[in-house]
Each structure stands twice: as C-alpha cells, then as structure tokens.
Structure 1
Amino acid sequence: MICLRPINWLLFLLIVISGVAQAQGYLRAQGQHIVNERGERILLRGVGLGGWMLQEGYMLRLGNLGQQHVIRAKIEALVGAEATAAFYQAWLANHTTKADIDAMARWGFNSVRLPMHYNLYTLPVEQEPVAGQDTWLEQGFALTDQLIAWARANNLYVILDLHAAPGGQGNDLPISDRNPDTPSLWQSEANRQKTIALWRKLAQRYANEPAVGGYDIINEPNWGFENPEDKNGCKETQNQPLRQLLVDITRAIREVDDKHMIIIEGNCWGNNYAGILPPWDKNLVLSFHKYWNYNQLADIQGHLDLREKYNMPLWLGEAGENSNLWFTDAIRLVESQGIGWAWWPLKKIGFNNPLEIQPNADYWKLVDYWQGKAERPTPAVAKKALMQLATHDLRYEHNRIHTDVVDAMLRQPHSAMTIPFKAHRITRRGGKIAAVDFDVGLSGHAYWDKDSANYHVSTGSERMPWNRGRVYRNEGVDIAHDDKRKAYYVNHIEAGEWLEYTIEVDKAAHYTISASVRAAVAESRLGVRVNQVEQVEQALAASADWYNQVLGVVELQQGTNKVRVQTSTGGFELLSLGIGAVR
C-alpha cells in the first residue's frame, strides 16, 4: 500500500484555508448557504461510497454487464446461489470499513455520501408477502448505523443518498440497478409508495442524529415524462411526476424529522429543474451533478441562477471520473462560488479515485470469460477469485492509495506549490529516479501534457483517455507497465511535454545525468533544466529496446533542486533518470 506523504501538511493547509473541517451539529439551509447549529457556513468536501451497496459494471471492469442484478446472475451461473450469497455478504462487510472512513478524515474530507440500494432496507414490491405492506430488512439499516458511527467518531457528516429507488428511477439502468422488464419507479404507484415509506423509516431512525448531514432523496432521476423519446428527461419542461414525488417524500420525512436538510435532484441526471421549483420546504438544498464538461463559470451559471432566484443553497452532489487537472479545476470553480461537493467514487478497480482495488489474477480470468475472451473458468477457480476479491482485495489495507488524486482534490485548488511524489535523494555516489515519480502539483507546474482531461460532453467528441495506460497516476501523463522489467514508464511523449522532479542532493557538485529511453525514431530529443536553467540536450538514437543515453553534465546545489526533463520533438519513452557524480 502506497503511503500518502503530504497528509499532515495537507490537512493543516485545508483547515487554515477553510475552517470547516469538523462537524458542529445539524446542518441546515440558511439563505444560499449550508450552516451548522452555530450558524457557521459549512463547505462540504466529501466522497461518495459508490460500489459498496450498489455495484456498477464499469467499477468492476465488466464493461456492458452494467446492472448489479445482471452481474449477480452471471456470478450465480458460475458458482451457484449459495456461493453468490456468500460473496455479496463478504462484499458488504469489506468494501467500506472503519479504516476507509478514518483515512478520509486524515486526508481532510469532512463528509461522506452513502449511495443506498433500497433492497438492503426493504423487499422489492414484487416479493412482498402482503401487497401494499413493507417488510423491513435490518441489514441496510445496520450497515448505515455502522457508517454513521465511524463518521461521527471522525467528525464527518454522512449524506444519505437513495441511489437505487424501488423499480429504478431512470433509463440509465446501471446507476439504479433497474430491470427494464419490471415497472420502474415512474410506472408503479406501489414503487412510489415504497420509496416514500422507506424515507419515512430512515428519517424516523436518524431524526436525532446530527452526524447525518442530510437526505439526498432520489439520485439522478432520468426519465422522459412528456416525451418517451427524451429518455433521460433532459428536454422535460414540466417534470410534474418528479416534483410530486419529491414533495410527497418531504412531507413523509417532516412527519418524523424537522431537523435534517433535504437535498433534491432534478431530472436529466440531477440537472433539469424545469417545473420542479419553487421550493416547498424551508430546509431544501439544490443538488447538481457535473461530468466531462468545461470548468468555466458559464458551465454552472444556470445552477447559480436558480440559487439566486430561489435563495437556496447549491451542492455539487456528484462529480469525478476524470483527470487530476479536471478535478482541481472543477473544485476550484465551485468553491469559488461557495459550493461544496461530493466526489465519485472513493474506490473502484481503476486509477482515478483516492483508492484503487487491485484484484487477484484469477479475477481477470472471470472478466475475460464474461467479455468473451477466454474459456469458462471452473466453479472452484471462480469462487476462489470472487472470495479473494471480496475478503482481501476490497479492503483498505490492500488498496493502492492514489496520493496524487487526493492532493488534486484538497490541496491543489488552493496552492500552486509542487511537492515530491516520492523522496529522491542524490548521494555523493548519485542516484536513480523512476520517470513516473515526477512531482505532484498543477499542470504547468509539476508537469505538462497536451491531453490532460476529458471534456467530451462540452466538445461533442469521443472520450479522451488523458492517461492512455490508465495506471499508476491520474495526471495527463501517459503511463504504461513493462511486464518484463516489472516497472512503470512514461510513453506517448509529444513535443513540448515535460516532467519535473524535486531532488535532495547531499553535496553540491557536477553530476552526469542519463536517461533510460526507448525511441521509435532517431529524431527525438531530450533536454534537462536544473533550477530553471537549461543545461543539456541530446538527440536519442532509435531503438526497439531500452538503452541508457548519457545526456551530459549538470550542476546541482546542495539541498533541494528542481530537475525538469523536456522534449522539443517527442516520439520516445522514458523509464528512468540516472544521476552520477563526476569524478
């Protein structure tokens, strides 16, 4: 597990710049701001626990196996019903633990959003023994109680988020585990009544719990009420059924709880509020979600206008699944307008979140089989892979901590300072630096790469893979893995791109600097700057394998030095830098 080096300084800086790190009683809406019981403005900085109570196929690298019930059926076909049930019990027990919440608090987050699947709290309508009655399941409530206890101990708020409502709330099927063969939330009065009853039950249970920050009552509705061809409701002008259900849920909550904030989301994945406002409760918060678009004021102006018109707080309830550059820019944008946020998600099998699940080798055999790339594994192999995933790989202590992602979310929106990704010490005998261990910091300060974020919603283009290898780090720098050398390296290097490293030198002297490179063409050139002074540059020979290229002699001062490697032409790959003392 990689350690997060700048934790203490990061947390100190966060407290200094915000003053909102600790929970102080119930949260509520006061004009355009969220405040605590002392009347102090609270800027929520949190992460959503996506994948815990509700799996989505992409989080497990399962491609088009999108909905949880589809994934579960595929697992059951391999290992049987009993082993499948054991897998899901282990998954719920190990995906999110006290260690995850403790880590979030150490890093500087002050809230956590819990995406809930209704079927952990109550039976589906179709399975109720008595039609119209609600059977309550203790498992979901017990898991929620435990999360709240962990959060309370760390002065974090918990936002309860109904991510999968009875029947499913939209045509984006995976986000609510919707089965299109059964009536949706909008096609079934029984599903709507169960949703209302569930929220009344939750509010009754947590009415006197100040660690619960608020109730996010329906995640990302996406439904065409007026025009079925407008499947996700982005052109909806009235949204009458959505408004009515939100009002009905609010009324049910207020029967038992008049303390907690109620957070509402519009149609079109939480962004279309046509016909939904004005507000019907004095303690409402307006949520919006933001993915893959630009981070200019104009991109959130519509939401700001609603805040101003109806004098109610805004909250960025979900954003993420992008690069560090995009994360920093988006957070800087919304915080400049006094808007808090909850990022998505804390962990998955993937590199662009604070925690990365690293599956065992046999799990990839299952993935290949389900994607039609391999033969069916035996039940024994499948069961072993799944249980190792759920009992071992999922757990915080076996996750990879992405220090660069946490830093991009909490420090970089407020500081242009770069910090070392790893300590690089150059002794009198020299030293070696892995190319992928460049500094952590803003684009243009710690590194420069031409493709550093995905803006496909704004541009209308295809999704941009900012890190083409999708491994190790989440900046725009392209990184791949050399299986033979068991090492990561930088590839797809283009003209003008550069990387900077902070190194600590024991003795001021002249040192030779070399690079382990692999170049497709002989026109590539690699240069080095030390402490903002250009010192050496060399042409690289074409080679199909790694070789060591001496770049020249550089002068290093004692103590801290900034070494930047840069290219005017590109077309090569970089594995490491070597620094050796001149004799």
Structure 2
Amino acid sequence: MKTLIWLCACLCALAMPAQAEGFLRTEGTRIVDAKGQPVILRGMGLGGWMLQEGYMLELPQFGTQSRIRAEIEALIGPDKTQAFYTAWLDTHTTRADIDAMKRWGFNSVRLPMHFALFTLPVDKEPVPGQDTWLEDGFRRTDALLDWAKANDLYLILDLHAAPGGQGNDINISDRDPTKPSLWQDPAHQAKMVSLWRKLADRYKDEPYIAGYDILNEPNWGFADASDRNGCQEKGNAPLRELMVRTTKAIREVDQRHIIIIEGNCWGNNYAGVLDGGLWDPNMVLSFHKYWNFTTRDTLTTILTLRDRYQVPVWLGESGENANTWFSETIRLVESEGIGWAWWPLKKIGYNNPLQIKPNAGYLKLLDYWAGKGSKPSAAEAEAALMQLATQDVAYAHNLHRPDVVDALFRAAHSDESVPFRSHYLLAKGGSLPAADFDMGRNGIAYWDTTAANLYVSTGGKGVTWNPLQAYRNDGVQLGQDKTGLYVTQMVAGEWLKYSFVAQQSGRYTLSLDAEGGVFDFSVNGGPAVKAPATVPLKAGSNSVVVRIVKPGSRLRRLVFTKR
C-alpha cells in the first residue's frame, strides 16, 4: 500500500495539469496555453472504441470493423448485431476511464473517430452530394468532452476512419478495398471536408478541445501504386491539397483551434507536403513512432522540419511495445519539449494500462472463427458478445496494469526502480516471487537482452519480450504452470532487482527456487556471492540483485530463511 501511495504521488507531481483557462495555440516550436506557458501534452488514444481494429479483439484475420461486423451478423443477425455495437459504444469508454486517466497523470486524450458515426457513407446518402448528419457520434463526443472537462483534460479530435478510407493499411480506417478510397472519389473528400467543418462549428468555443487531427496515418502511393503505403512518395500533392482544403473549411467557422496534420506513410512522410510553406499560422506536425530505436537520430527528420518551419511537432501515436521502450521513448521526446499520445488505452492484450479479459463464450467464438472449434448457436454467440460489450470492456472489469502506467510517467524520468508489489519478510523469513522484480527501465530494474521490439530499426523479426503476454509488460520472459509464475528463457549476464521490506534485521540464508542454472546475487549493493549464501538484512528497506551466471529453465522464487 505504501508503494502504491508513493507511486500515485510521483505521478501526480510529474503530470502537468491541463487547466484550460483559454485555447491552446502555437508559438514558434512550442504549444502554449493562453498565458504563453509551454504545454507538453501527455495523452492516450481511445483506440477500439469508435473504431474497432481486428487485432484488438484477437481477430487479425478479419482486420476491419466492417468485416468483423459482417461475421457477427452471420451468427446473430443484423438487429442483434446493432444491439452489440450500441452496447459496445456505451460501455467501452465511460467517465470512469477518463477519471482514471487523470489519476494516473494524463492531461489529454485523443479520440479516434469513425466518420460513419457522424454522417452516412457516400453510397448510402439518400440524396447524392448531400450530407446526412447522425447525432450518435456528436452526442458521444459531447459526453467525452464533458468527462475530459471535469478532469481538466484536453481533447484532441482525430479522424481515424475517413470516408472511403485513407490508405492501403485497411484495418486502421475500416476501408473496403473493393470500393474507391478517399483518394479515388472526390465525393469522399467532399464529405471529409464537410464533416470537419461541422465538427469545428460545433466545438469552436470549447477551450478544452486542444486541436483537430484532421487525418490519421494516410498511407497511399500517389505517384506509384506499387508504393502501397506512400513511404517512397516524393510529392504528396493530393495529401497537401486535401489538408489545405480541410483547413480552409475549418477556418470558415473556427479561427482558434490548432490544426494538426500528418504525413504519408502512417504519418511520417512529409515530402512535398510543406512545399510552399505552412498554410496556417496555428498548425502542428504530428508524427508516429513504433518499433524502432529510442535514440535521438530517430527524430532527425521531424526535428529538421520543426526547426526549418518553426512549427511545433507532436508524437500523435506510439505504443504497442515493452515498458522500457515506452519509458525511453517518452524520455526522448520530452527532452525535446515534445508531447505525446499513447496507443491504446485498452484492448484484449497486455501492453496497455487496461486489459480486456474476455469471457469463456467469446474465447469459444474466437476458436470457431479461427477454424479450431464448432459453430456456436445464435443464442450462445449473442450471450458471449453481449457479455463482452456490456461487462468485459467496462473499466470496472478490466485488468489494471500499474507497471504500464509507471513506465509512462515515473520510469520515463527516473533512474531508480520501485517495487512491482509490496513484499514484507517476517522475522523468520519468507519468499519473493521471481516474477515480481522491480519496475523501471532495462538496466535499472533488470537487464534483459530482448527487452523490447525494435524490428523496424533492425530489419528483423519482431521480438516477443514476454511470451506469457500476461501479468506485466516488462522485457523479462515469463512462463506459468500449475504451480504459478516463473522467469524463463534466461541468458547469462541478465539480472533482476528486487526491493522489499524486512521486519527485523539479522542474517538470512538466501536460496533460489530454480530448475537448473547457476546464480549469484548481491544484497544492498554488497559484493556478489554465489547462491545459496547467508547475508545480512536491515530492518526496513532492502534490495537484492539476482544475476544469471548459467541459465536455468525456470526461476520461481527467492527464499529467505532467518539464521
């Protein structure tokens, strides 16, 4: 409990409160508040709420929300499918989630919007060329804004799924590849521009809106169709033209909010986009960062643009990695005065602050969709899906991952480790689970040779830093059997640090519950000794570092016995 209180206090101290006394704006290379004070946005993206991506539901084979919806309809019919999606939107993100974000230390939230919650698709408009507005999306955005305001959090509106879809990575925009994309149909572009004008008119007087992220991760080869995601694009003229046009429409009704733009190639290719200079004086360049090194040279391109055009830059999306990568990346960008928005708040998966734990019926559905199980009845499928949408996704039912929150805030700025859980040794001794090593960056709380996924920089395969994909998101390989958790896949030279409290000082024999291997350890910074050995402990706080000399198959516990 003391550790938890201490951690909360540290997080509150680190987080800059977002007191929205006026509109955010740009000033040189910084985002500033109404008083001209620099603001570093520390945010989280609400991925999976208004727009589902297949991997977040353990359905990568379906990918897009439209495909997922079609598969659900095939099982339970369109009416019950609609009930599922309504319940999903009602439950996935609520005031409780935003309250928690404030407690953890965030000062902003990025809302990934699906255009179809706000307006009909082009091919479903009863009158071609006219826009039918749907209140559901606006109502839900209003509610989110109210929750954000109650917590002094800024809200960034992000068009994640544009009409027609903005790229060949179809999952992120729910694009149907059999139909014209955003770039192939002027009617889609007109609807996107019209939607942003509508949103800007609705929120023009809201200082808690930080800005408009007008198009998430465009990825399209304009000059060369074989350059499917636009990473080699040199001109990007259609992208610039659409963003200029959208900005103009916004400025017809809203002169105050920041305009956030993203380059091609998932937000990072700005070649040609800024030819002719910036087209608005209150603009921010967003970039996205995934699975690469955490060194300053990885920011060279975006920092060059920042300095050349004297414009603020913002890490608009990042995440999906190990805790140490989170901390190192945030440490890097904040050292440059750059804010960030992590991705996502929750999913069926373990490397986010909240984890959705699906019910047994949904797991059977996953087996069926994967071709590994029998087809459920309509009643069974409906029950499983409605339990997922009304209970499993709810904040109160999510698994909370404090190590991820620690990585995003405390560990990003601290060269010390803290206990993963509070452990107390009684006068007669006790034990520490090997999986409960400290929280902190790689090299501070532990040392592991495969601590994060860096496949974009290394050109190799992705690294699974914790094959168990459960319990915690640190770069130490864990396993589990009927006796509990254990550390596995050890490499000579790797080490783990444990902090704990001893009730009584004295000499204790420290032995390791391990299968094979040779280990040494040092207590309270003392000399390394081979396990088992007898060592002195202080009354109060102590630490021990366990080092792998020769790997074993499993390390289960550290056992202390009073002499």
TM-score, with length taken from structure 1 = 0.94
Contact 2:515 2:552 in 1 (8 A): no
Deviates more, 1:238-247 or 1:526-535: 526-535
| Equivalent-residue separation in structure 2 for 1:68 and 1:243 (angstroms) | 28
Contact 1:496 1:570 in 2 (8 A): no
Query: Any gaps of 5 or more consecutive residues in structure 1?
Result: 539-550
Which residue is equivalent to 1:417?
Answer: 416
The amino acid across from 2:474 in the alignment is E
Which residue is equivalent to 1:334?
Answer: 333
Contact 1:22 1:110 in 2 (8 A): no
| Equivalent-residue separation in structure 2 for 1:219 and 1:22 (angstroms) | 27
Which residue is equivalent to 2:509?
Answer: 512
Please tell me whether residue 94 in structure 1 is matched to residue 87 in structure 2: no
| Equivalent-residue separation in structure 2 for 1:38 and 1:358 (angstroms) | 44
Please tell me whether residue 532 in structure 1 is matched to residue 513 in structure 2: no
| Equivalent-residue separation in structure 2 for 1:41 and 1:239 (angstroms) | 31
| Equivalent-residue separation in structure 1 for 2:326 and 2:441 (angstroms) | 11
| Equivalent-residue separation in structure 2 for 1:241 and 1:448 (angstroms) | 47
Contact 1:23 1:110 in 2 (8 A): no
Which residue is equivalent to 1:352?
Answer: 351
Query: Any gaps of 5 or more consecutive residues in structure 2?
Result: none
Deviation at 1:422, TM superposition (A): 0.8
Please tell me whether residue 129 in structure 1 is matched to residue 129 in structure 2: no
The residue correspondences of 1:435-514 to structure 2 (distance < 5 A) are: 435-482=434-481, 484-485=482-483, 487-514=484-511
Which residue is equivalent to 2:263?
Answer: 266
| Equivalent-residue separation in structure 2 for 1:408 and 1:140 (angstroms) | 33
Please tell me whether residue 365 in structure 1 is matched to residue 364 in structure 2: yes
| Equivalent-residue separation in structure 2 for 1:530 and 1:23 (angstroms) | 48
Q: Report the count of equivalent residues.
A: 559
The amino acid across from 1:138 in the alignment is E
Q: Could you report, residue by residue, the CA deviation over 1:364-414 in whole angstroms, capped at 9, with x for unpaired residues?
A: 111111111222122222211111111111111111111111111111121
Contact 1:471 1:480 in 2 (8 A): no
Contact 1:27 1:34 in 2 (8 A): yes
Which residue is equivalent to 2:173?
Answer: 176
Instruction: State the identity %.
Output: 56
Please tell me whether residue 257 in structure 1 is matched to residue 250 in structure 2: no
| Equivalent-residue separation in structure 1 for 2:199 and 2:161 (angstroms) | 15
Q: Partner of 1:232: helix, strand, or coil?
A: coil
Which residue is equivalent to 2:545?
Answer: 564
| Equivalent-residue separation in structure 2 for 1:236 and 1:8 (angstroms) | 45
| Equivalent-residue separation in structure 2 for 1:8 and 1:290 (angstroms) | 27
| Equivalent-residue separation in structure 2 for 1:21 and 1:41 (angstroms) | 11
The amino acid across from 1:314 in the alignment is V
| Equivalent-residue separation in structure 2 for 1:26 and 1:111 (angstroms) | 14
Q: Partner of 1:335: helix, strand, or coil?
A: helix
Which residue is equivalent to 2:554?
Answer: 573
The residue correspondences of 1:196-215 to structure 2 (distance < 5 A) are: 196-215=193-212
Deviation at 1:12, TM superposition (A): 3.8
Please tell me whether residue 554 in structure 1 is matched to residue 554 in structure 2: no
Contact 1:498 1:567 in 2 (8 A): yes
Deviation at 1:285, TM superposition (A): 0.5
Contact 1:21 1:108 in 2 (8 A): no
Deviation at 1:441, TM superposition (A): 1.2
TM-score, with length taken from structure 2 = 0.97
Please tell me whether residue 145 in structure 1 is matched to residue 148 in structure 2: no
Q: Could you report, residue by residue, the CA deviation over 1:265-288 in whole angstroms, capped at 9, with x for unpaired residues?
A: 011111111111121011110001
Contact 1:4 1:403 in 2 (8 A): no
The amino acid across from 1:38 in the alignment is K
| Equivalent-residue separation in structure 1 for 2:80 and 2:131 (angstroms) | 28
| Equivalent-residue separation in structure 1 for 2:528 and 2:8 (angstroms) | 35
The amino acid across from 1:104 in the alignment is M
Deviation at 1:181, TM superposition (A): 1.0
Deviation at 1:512, TM superposition (A): 2.6
CA RMSD of aligned residues (A): 1.4
Contact 1:536 1:554 in 2 (8 A): no
Which residue is equivalent to 1:28?
Answer: 25
| Equivalent-residue separation in structure 2 for 1:369 and 1:536 (angstroms) | 53
| Equivalent-residue separation in structure 2 for 1:21 and 1:137 (angstroms) | 31
Which residue is equivalent to 1:397?
Answer: 396
- Counterpart selection for 2:218 from 214, 217, 221: 221
The amino acid across from 2:321 in the alignment is N
Deviation at 1:235, TM superposition (A): 1.0
| Equivalent-residue separation in structure 2 for 1:526 and 1:426 (angstroms) | 21
Contact 1:156 1:211 in 2 (8 A): yes
| Equivalent-residue separation in structure 2 for 1:186 and 1:384 (angstroms) | 40
| Equivalent-residue separation in structure 1 for 2:511 and 2:130 (angstroms) | 73
Deviation at 1:345, TM superposition (A): 0.6
The amino acid across from 1:563 in the alignment is V
The amino acid across from 1:527 in the alignment is D
Deviation at 1:114, TM superposition (A): 0.2
| Equivalent-residue separation in structure 2 for 1:479 and 1:139 (angstroms) | 43
Contact 2:18 2:154 in 1 (8 A): no
Extract structure 1 runs of 4+ deviating beyond 6 A: none
Contact 2:221 2:229 in 1 (8 A): yes
Please tell me whether residue 432 in structure 1 is matched to residue 425 in structure 2: no
Q: Partner of 1:317: helix, strand, or coil?
A: strand
Deviation at 1:513, TM superposition (A): 2.5
The amino acid across from 1:409 in the alignment is L
Contact 1:13 1:411 in 2 (8 A): no
Which residue is equivalent to 2:375?
Answer: 376
Deviation at 1:20, TM superposition (A): 5.1
Deviates more, 1:379-388 or 1:257-266: 379-388
Contact 2:17 2:152 in 1 (8 A): no
| Equivalent-residue separation in structure 2 for 1:535 and 1:458 (angstroms) | 36
| Equivalent-residue separation in structure 1 for 2:557 and 2:58 (angstroms) | 30
Please tell me whether residue 154 in structure 1 is matched to residue 170 in structure 2: no
Q: Partner of 1:55: helix, strand, or coil?
A: coil
Please tell me whether residue 9 in structure 1 is matched to residue 2 in structure 2: no
Q: Could you report, residue by residue, the CA deviation over 1:7-61 in whole angstroms, capped at 9, with x for unpaired residues?
A: 432234304xxx5554342111111110111111100010100000001111111
Q: Partner of 2:549: helix, strand, or coil?
A: coil
Which residue is equivalent to 1:111?
Answer: 108
| Equivalent-residue separation in structure 2 for 1:498 and 1:573 (angstroms) | 14
Q: Partner of 1:436: helix, strand, or coil?
A: helix
| Equivalent-residue separation in structure 1 for 2:286 and 2:506 (angstroms) | 57
Task: Quickly say closer, same or farther: Cα 1:186–1:4, change in 2 above 3 A.
Answer: farther
Contact 1:447 1:500 in 2 (8 A): yes
Q: Partner of 1:83: helix, strand, or coil?
A: helix
| Equivalent-residue separation in structure 2 for 1:33 and 1:368 (angstroms) | 49
Q: Partner of 1:179: helix, strand, or coil?
A: coil
| Equivalent-residue separation in structure 2 for 1:65 and 1:182 (angstroms) | 17
- Counterpart selection for 2:55 from 43, 54, 58: 58
Q: Could you report, residue by residue, the CA deviation over 1:171-226 in whole angstroms, capped at 9, with x for unpaired residues?
A: 00000000011111011111100000000000000000111100000000001111
| Equivalent-residue separation in structure 2 for 1:514 and 1:568 (angstroms) | 15
